[in-house]
Structure 1
């Protein structure tokens, strides 16, 4: 190898991932060091990424990655760096200059054939991606239709002949709203698992409270289902169990509602699992659960769960100027955090791979800069006061960071966003339930 070729390769190795990405025409986010995107060679939606701080690139679809611009250029352009010609062509791309005269080059015919193959692959990738997106959109809309069907088939909780929903909220929250958002059914099916033909199995059917996830047009995009069992205090929800893969391998039988609870040792060994008594159908991304009032109100009050929103509304008498809501979960309330805002928990630690205790890292209070509008629940522009309800029975530091992030996410000029905390170790519904128990 001549000195000119050696220098040519070393110059290419010195090109940073950032500079190489610019030459290749790859996409950069507005902020941050990680830049996910469709792979120029393999397609997909976010299968390819490069990191300008770690000086690395990776393609999950192709199962390949590296820490220099030469390999990144070779992958994007369909070159084989194991061959002399492929290596020098990749170096030429990132340096944006010709290969020295004594270096091996692709023939015009080989280059034309490679470019043609790459373009055909890109067209195929684009078509496959468009097909996947259309299929996902179709599936999402079918699920939304199912969720609307579940919700619209039921009757308003406040007027339904079934008392389960009103009793559940009285026990858990001290009362219920005089509103029609929440609905109730006496026989809502709980689907879990599949039969031999792949069809869903009905594990349980019983009373349930159902709430919609809505967008600004107030059309439901999903529904939140809470199954109710008034004979199971303090949560008043049925105990449901499912057989795990390990349980199937051990030859155990499926648990059926009405059976005794699985043995504690089988649960501990992961042969059975406790199933959630709350489920969501359809979509929740960017939506919220209405509880009482109307989104046209200028004052909004809500937090993560329905029960907390109801309990707080009962406490302040469901004010006529207020819209009460729930986000469904903390992530939908706050949105994602800016990675650079992560911080070490002041006390919590966990062992690393070598067994050394390391501080637990906490998602920070700063919202991610380039997130989409539906990465968190929507809040109408006219809202002048947004009261956020925190949970006092969750880990305090992590919850405080999340609530600060929610405040920053939903902040607007002139909008007040107080964060209200219950007593330490409680949430608002457990405080209300304790008060109800004391009155009995």
Structure 2
């Protein structure tokens, strides 16, 4: 082995996993921390990981990993580094330079074999992706159909507990129009866990408020269920026990598709003024305070992710205070999704405001972590801003949401 080849190999070995990942377009130039996403070979959605802290990568599906840029580039390029020629070809790829003249090169047969491996893997990936999409679509269709059945099977004649719940959580009596959207089921089953035969267990049955998720065309795509127990103050929701980890079971569930859809609360979607936030109770609290304005459409997004949409990964930042323990028990500063919206996001990745909306008011939660929420609301404002439309965020006092504000004063 000549000095030129020795130098060539050492230069390749100096390329880190992160540098190689940047050159392959897997992560951005400013990447720090941990990355999880699709593998460049098997395309598994969340089985491929890169750690800038450990300087390592691995794919749980392929069962392979490494701690240098050579191994990552070889994996992505289907290069067999077990042969001398393959190893040198990977070195050339990782530093973007041609092989020294005296270096051993892949033969035509080896290159043809590598191309064959790439085509075979590509065909396998495409078949697997098509199968996953087919299964996902079938599952989504079943969920949408079931959620529509839950909503349209619920009563538009409000159960006394649903009306009492909304009055208790907002301090306002609801007009009849609200109950066209917020229906009730006096005996709604809460399914949780599975028995020894794999069947879902009917964990609880009680009164539930059933709300629809509707898409921009007004079609029902999902439903939101809130179980109610007027004996359980202050939020009037039942104690359903805990899950396997000891965490309280949620008293709200969402079925079907919520991304890109929203929950109508009062008014018409044709209105030019829209007001809404994450939750049903907060939206109706503001609607009541505004005396259910006839020119306004009040809505809920269901959760913060659907309201604010995904963030541009480049806008992530370190939280000034919060830390999180890694798997070794070491406390590390938490990374927060930033204020910039994901570039070129699809309409079904988050709720949309109709083009005719000229005034949009977003409702923040003051009882959520303030920095995380502020970044998310800033992202929502940027995502939903259009020419001819004003977008602003209303904040309740720190430590409160609008529901608590309206019922306290």
Q: Secondary structure at the match of 1:301?
A: strand
Q: Can you give the 5+ residue segments of structure 1 that lack an aligned partner in the other structure?
A: 245-269, 436-440
For the aligned residues, what is the CA RMSD? Answer: 3.4
What is the Cα deviation at residue 192 of structure 1?
0.4
1:308 is aligned to 282
Contact in 1 for aligned 2:324/2:334 (Cα 8 Å): no
Residues 262-295 of structure 1: CA deviation (Å, up to 9, x unaligned): xxxxxxxx5x442111111112112111101111
Q: Give distance in 2, aligned partners of 1:121 and 1:395.
A: 44
Which of residues 401, 407, 410 is equivalent to 2:381? 407
Q: Pick closer, same or farther for the CA change 1:351–1:29 going to 2, 3 Å.
A: closer
Q: For residues 47-86 of structure 1, what are the structure 2 equivalents within 5 Å? A: 59-66=59-66, 68-86=68-86
1:210 is aligned to 210
What is the Cα deviation at residue 118 of structure 1?
3.2
1:176 is aligned to 174
What is the Cα deviation at residue 123 of structure 1?
1.0
1:117 is aligned to 117
Q: Secondary structure at the match of 2:381?
A: helix
1:394 pairs with 2:391: no
1:219 is aligned to 219
Q: Which shifted more, 198-207 or 413-422?
A: 413-422
Residues 49-100 of structure 1: CA deviation (Å, up to 9, x unaligned): 7899999765453244456543233112333324322202223445667644
1:317 is aligned to 291
What is the Cα deviation at residue 138 of structure 1?
1.0
1:164 is aligned to 161
What is the Cα deviation at residue 30 of structure 1?
9.4
1:275 is aligned to 249
1:256 is aligned to none
Contact in 2 for aligned 1:391/1:421 (Cα 8 Å): yes
Contact in 1 for aligned 2:315/2:339 (Cα 8 Å): yes
Q: Secondary structure at the match of 1:138?
A: helix
Residues 314-361 of structure 1: CA deviation (Å, up to 9, x unaligned): 111111110000011112111233344444555x34476698887655
Q: Pick closer, same or farther for the CA change 1:329–1:243 going to 2, 3 Å.
A: closer
Contact in 2 for aligned 1:57/1:67 (Cα 8 Å): yes
Q: Pick closer, same or farther for the CA change 1:350–1:110 going to 2, 3 Å.
A: closer
Residues 377-406 of structure 1: CA deviation (Å, up to 9, x unaligned): 111111111111122222333333322222
Q: Give distance in 1, aligned partners of 2:110 and 2:333.
A: 54
Q: Give distance in 1, aligned partners of 2:148 and 2:74.
A: 49
1:430 is aligned to 404
Q: Give distance in 2, aligned partners of 1:358 and 1:118.
A: 39
Residues 92-137 of structure 1: CA deviation (Å, up to 9, x unaligned): 4456676445433444334333432332222122111211111111
Contact in 2 for aligned 1:29/1:370 (Cα 8 Å): no
2:231 is aligned to 231
Q: Give distance in 2, aligned partners of 1:301 and 1:154.
A: 26
Contact in 1 for aligned 2:22/2:29 (Cα 8 Å): no
Bigger CA radius of gyration: 1
TM-score (norm 2): 0.85
Q: Pick closer, same or farther for the CA change 1:292–1:350 going to 2, 3 Å.
A: same
Q: Secondary structure at the match of 1:43?
A: coil
Q: Pick closer, same or farther for the CA change 1:414–1:291 going to 2, 3 Å.
A: same
Q: Which shifted more, 163-172 or 94-103?
A: 94-103
Q: For residues 9-408 of structure 1, what are the structure 2 equivalents within 5 Å? A: 9-13=9-13, 38-45=38-45, 59-66=59-66, 68-94=68-94, 99-100=99-100, 102-156=102-156, 159-160=157-158, 162-173=159-170, 174-179=172-177, 180-242=180-242, 244=244, 270=245, 272-345=246-319, 348-350=321-323, 361-408=335-382
Q: Pick closer, same or farther for the CA change 1:351–1:296 going to 2, 3 Å.
A: closer
Equivalent residues, number: 403
